[in-house]
Structure 1
Amino acid sequence: MVQGYMKHAENLIPVIDRLLKKEKMEIGNIDAFLISRGPGSFTGLRIGFATLKGFLAIHPKPCYGASSLDVIAAGIKGYQNLAVCLDARRGKLYTRSYCSHGKRWLPSGPPRVVSIDEMISGLPAGSWITGDGVTKLAAKDLAVVPEKNWSPRAATLIRLFEMQDPLLKKLTRPKEFLPVYLRSSEAEEKLKGDRH
């Protein structure tokens, strides 16, 4: 997983190449592919899935994916209630709430796209907040998880795979090899608006 805000198309393949060389491996040596399915940056998700499909065309291997929200939550420990929120732009947030169950997080409901006010009013009592959407909530006096835990991490995906965690699903059907957007792109929304 390439983390941070970078030019995905320019950097993804070189980063993968460097990692393989560092580990003295080739892409054919990989046992399975793991992907964070979204929601997130439309461009980043498309590039990630296009790259995955390219690898699978040459090296068919099992593939597993998890929601970006679930991957972020799974990387955080030490809290009772957690809400992950990612910036969905235009005053909206992608969000999902979780409650602690032993060493795992159990989702309290499905992933949603909500306004900032809906996010705040829908928080379970005592929730801690994480994800890059925290910056949209900065003035709201909420309990915030440290910034180092705001993004999905490759190490968390690997741990979910090793633990056979149910948050990580095997992708087998064609529709599963598509990003999870939760909302239409800005261009799609504009096109719908122009038709009305």
Structure 2
Amino acid sequence: MKLLCLSTAEQGCSLAIVDGSILVCEEFWDARLTHSRRLVKMIEHMLENRAFMALGDMEGFVAARGPGSFTGLRIGISVVKGLAYAMGKPAAGVSSLDGIAFRFDHCSIPVCVMMDARRNEVYCAVYHFDHGRLMSKTKESVVSPEEAIGMTSGPVVFAGSGSKAYRDIIEQTADNPEFADRFLDSVSATALLRSLGSKEDFFNCSENRLAPVYIRQSDAQLQFAEK
């Protein structure tokens, strides 16, 4: 199945096209332009100049559904929904945290994904893999860095923007931390797709419904509640 997948959960934007189990191409942009100004052009460029395919060749669409940037998520999900509707093809959503964790799906020790949620908090989940297969995953949550570290024990790989923002705390508190390379801290469209690999008929799975998952209220909502 030919699939187009994207993530706009963070400042950078990741795009990938696969044909069955074959990765056709993947691109990542970290330019400081809003997703609304570049996303459609990025998709057109990738299809025409990298994949040598047309939009009509796609048999389905996948997007990161959150957590992450509220505005970025809304833009990415809206674009994917629009493309799916226009082409009459199915669409699915995948956790942004999965899009980081599945970069390490052959890791022999647990992976703690920490995305910087600001306000001294991180979006977090801890994953256990066995030769590419997900064995367990904690509930996704927004917690303090200390609480995230408390979800782990023994040797652990820390990944995601939060693992770098709070590296000092992790080094002082965690039992035996290892850190992912910085270029592996972002959500990968390929990893999003890899997380779906073992699922059957994921387009009709409620877990993969294409709707934003913010986990917490926006900063504007939090500020309003504090008044």
Deviation at 1:172, TM superposition (A): 6.7
TM-score for the superposition, normalised by structure 1: 0.87
Q: Structure 2 CA distance, aligned partners of 1:67 and 1:51? A: 17
Q: Structure 2 CA distance, aligned partners of 1:80 and 1:165? A: 23
1:149 has 2:203 as partner: no
1:61 has 2:89 as partner: yes
Deviation at 1:87, TM superposition (A): 0.6
CA contact (8 A) 1:66 1:169 kept: no
Q: Higher relative contact order at CA 8 Å, sep ≥6: structure 1 or structure 2?
A: 1
- From the two aligned structures, give the one with the greater strand fraction: 2
CA contact (8 A) 1:116 1:136 kept: no
Q: Structure 1 CA distance, aligned partners of 2:145 and 2:192? A: 28
Q: Which runs of 5+ in 1 are unaligned?
A: none
Q: Structure 1 CA distance, aligned partners of 2:108 and 2:185? A: 15
Q: Which runs of 5+ in 2 are unaligned?
A: 1-5, 7-12, 15-28, 172-176
Q: Structure 1 CA distance, aligned partners of 2:187 and 2:204? A: 19
Secondary structure, counterpart of 1:179 in structure 2: coil
Amino acid at match of 2:225: K
Amino acid at match of 2:213: V
- From the two aligned structures, give the one with the greater helix fraction: 1
TM alignment of 1:1-196, pairs within 5 A? 1=6, 2-3=13-14, 5=30, 6=32, 7-22=34-49, 23-76=51-104, 77-140=106-169, 141=171, 142-161=177-196, 163-165=197-199, 169-170=202-203, 176-194=209-227
The change in CA–CA distance for 1:160 and 1:95 in structure 2 (over 3 A counts) is: closer
Q: Structure 1 CA distance, aligned partners of 2:180 and 2:226? A: 37
Deviation at 1:49, TM superposition (A): 0.8
Q: Figure out how many residues of one structure are paired with residues of the other and give that number.
A: 191
CA contact (8 A) 2:96 2:192 kept: no
Deviation at 1:105, TM superposition (A): 2.7
Calculate percent identity across the aligned residue pairs: 29
RMSD over equivalenced CA pairs, Å: 2.2
Amino acid at match of 2:61: F
CA contact (8 A) 1:73 1:105 kept: no
Task: Summarize deviations over 1:117-168 as a string: whole Å, max 9, x none.
Answer: 212222232111000111222213232111222112122233344x3447x9
